[in-house]
Amino acid sequence: MIDAVLGFLAHVAAALTGLFVDSDALVLAYMFIPFVLFLELPLNLLIWLGVLRYYTRQIYAVPTRYPYTPRITCIVTCYAEGQAVHGTIRSLLEQVYPGQIEIIAVVDGADQNRETMQALRALEPLVQQYASRHLVIVPKVPRGGRVSSLNAGLNLARGEIVMAVDADTSFDNTMVLQAAGHFRDPNVIAVAGSLRVRNWRQSMVTRFQALEYMITIHLAKVGLGEFRSINNISGAFGVFRTEMVRKIGGWTTGSAEDLDLTLRLKQYFGRHPEFYIPFEPRAIGHTDVPSTVGGLLKQRLRWDGDLFYMYVRKHRHAFSPRQMGWWNLVIGIWFGMLFQMVMPILIVLYTLWLVVVADPSVVAATFVVIMGLYAVLTALLYITALVFISERRRTDVRLAWLIPVFPFYALGIRVWSLVAIVNEWWRQSNQESSMAPWWVLRKGKR
């Protein structure tokens, strides 16, 4: 057995050498085209340029003379968080924001979630100690899902700016101050904030997601945001101009409501090219992520399936220069469709092709080279985030040891994305979302 393994490894080493010494052009071409050269490399170059621009801009930025502190309404969507809702409400009460913060906590299915209701009512004496904070508890008896809760809160909102937050998300105490300042510009209709993994120490699965969030949210959105290329405002917490959300009719779907709202906002960009959505990396929320492989796969099955539903089914007619403008159209197709939906298909097809046409040792050697390249790319992105963006370097540096194996995690997530896309295409799985009851999902589909 050992001799057979050593023999195979020797064949792999010989094939690996042959890839470069013998210049197997066909294999090398398929390694780089279209995965890296056409899709990933240009995107990463755009991110790096954007991060450099952001870092330079922060150095030479002139501080504003007067703070901008409009009334903020925070809609906290609650379902079955229980005592955990205390962390979210406290983090909003303790914001170092001199303006008014109105917190509307909407409890979905209040009769079934009495523990959450009691936890919120127990906070009322604490809220009274803050002169510029106000808590409104909305017990919504029939369960209608997250969208129903958001719209109920929107109807009561009195703030110029509205935030949609999950009841299991907590925030840095400067989050509101950093996000609100962008709305000084009347052309800003929403602000995307950054998310960090709160339970990153819990398991290997959460550690991988912490590194993933660091690269794909904290870093990538800084770079893309500098070129006004934000594709999605996170559902865990997004910040919006209230009148704009009301103008488009609030939230309108039971699944992927964050991407749905972002795409509907962007449909005004063609008529109003001055509108834009900045990303604020200093507005930071902390959320818990799935701690098991099964929980992660279930989450991504919903996320990636909903992505296909939004782009291909519900909003396919919105992708036109007249509605989105040329730049947002290009970014939506390139990053939203090609990178997030076409890439998983290409990776799986390429792997199957290689397995069929090549010797097993060549397949293994090619796989080693590709994983090595992605490890180098991951390391470069990680170092960029650590040096230029990170506000918690002592925490982030503890994720560095994951870099050599992170490409395997990323490959698994991309293959699973294809499963999610096929599942949505074949079964319309968006109607099985846990974000709302089935009768609400069926009624809301278009």
- C-alpha dihedral over 349, 352, 358, 363, to 10 degrees? 100
Residue type, 374: Y
User: CA-based diameter of the chain, in Å?
Assistant: 75
Per-residue pLDDT of the chain in tens (446 residues, 90 and over written 9) = 555 545 554 554 554 455 544 445 445 545 555 566 667 778 888 999 999 999 999 888 777 667 789 999 999 998 878 888 899 999 999 999 999 999 999 998 877 888 888 889 999 999 999 989 999 998 988 777 888 899 999 999 999 999 999 888 999 999 999 999 999 999 999 999 999 999 999 999 999 999 999 998 899 999 999 999 998 898 888 899 999 999 999 998 767 788 899 999 999 998 999 999 999 999 999 999 999 999 999 999 999 988 888 888 888 888 888 899 899 888 888 888 888 888 888 888 877 877 777 777 777 777 777 888 889 999 999 999 999 999 999 999 999 999 999 999 999 999 999 999 998 888 777 666 655 564 555 555 54
- Model pLDDT, residue 268: 92
In a domain, 14, yes or no: yes
Contact 176, 72 (CB under 8 A): yes
Contacting residues for 170 by C-beta, under 8 A, at least 6 apart? 87, 88, 90, 91, 198, 285, 286
In a domain, 152, yes or no: no
In a domain, 105, yes or no: no
The closest of 132, 67, 65 to 101, measured between CA atoms, is 132
Beta bridge partners of 138: 106
DSSP string across 149-162: HHHHHHHH--SSEE
DSSP state of 110: T
pTM, full prediction: 0.88
- Model pLDDT, residue 398: 96
In a domain, 135, yes or no: no
Q: How many domains does the chain have?
A: 1
- Model pLDDT, residue 286: 94
- Model pLDDT, residue 25: 42
In a domain, 154, yes or no: no
The closest of 337, 307, 263 to 425, measured between CA atoms, is 307
Where is 287: in which H helix or E strand?
strand 279-287
- Model pLDDT, residue 135: 94
Beta bridge partners of 136: 104
In a domain, 214, yes or no: yes
- Characterize 68-92 residue by residue with b for buried, 16 or more Cβ atoms within 10 angstroms of its Cβ, and e for exposed: ebebbbbbbbbbebbebbbbbbebb
In a domain, 215, yes or no: yes
Which domain, by its residues, includes 17?
9-59+172-446
DSSP helix/strand/coil, 207: helix
In a domain, 104, yes or no: no
Pairs from 319-325 (Cβ < 8 Å, separation ≥ 24): 320/270, 321/270, 322/270, 323/266, 323/267, 323/269, 323/270, 323/271, 324/266, 324/267, 324/269, 324/270, 325/269, 325/270, 325/273
The closest of 310, 301, 299 to 254, measured between CA atoms, is 310
